[in-house]
Amino acid sequence: MRRKKPNLQTKFSEFCNSIEAISKIINEDGKQKVAVYVVLDNKENINQQTMFDAIDSVSDKHEKTSRFLLKTF
């Protein structure tokens, strides 16, 4: 029996969960787009250190997303 390949939306959702990001599939101009969101911090707790930490986190998530896209496509 052949296993079904997981669909793209499921793959992105699982990947985003693994890197603690949020994904959303958007249909726009007849094209399907994937948006990946990263929640940086609570606005009451933003200071210089949390911004540096957030930038490091975004950079790390960018690298992981690039690797995921290369493997997926």
- Establish if 43 belongs to a structural domain: yes
- Establish if 17 belongs to a structural domain: yes
- Number of structural domains (the chain) is 1
- Establish if 1 belongs to a structural domain: no
Domain that holds residue 62: 8-72
- The confidence score (pLDDT) of residue 1 equals 47
Give the residue, 43 or 3, on which the prediction is more confident. Answer: 43
- Establish if 39 belongs to a structural domain: yes
Per residue, the 3-state secondary structure of the chain, as one string, reads CCCCCCCHHHHHHHHHHHCCCEEEEEEECCEEEEEEECCCCCHHHCCHHHHHHHHHHHHHHHHHHHHHHHHHC
**Tens of pLDDT, residues 11-68:** 888 998 898 888 888 888 998 888 888 776 677 777 888 888 888 988 998 999 899 9
- Establish if 19 belongs to a structural domain: yes
- Establish if 3 belongs to a structural domain: no
- Establish if 56 belongs to a structural domain: yes
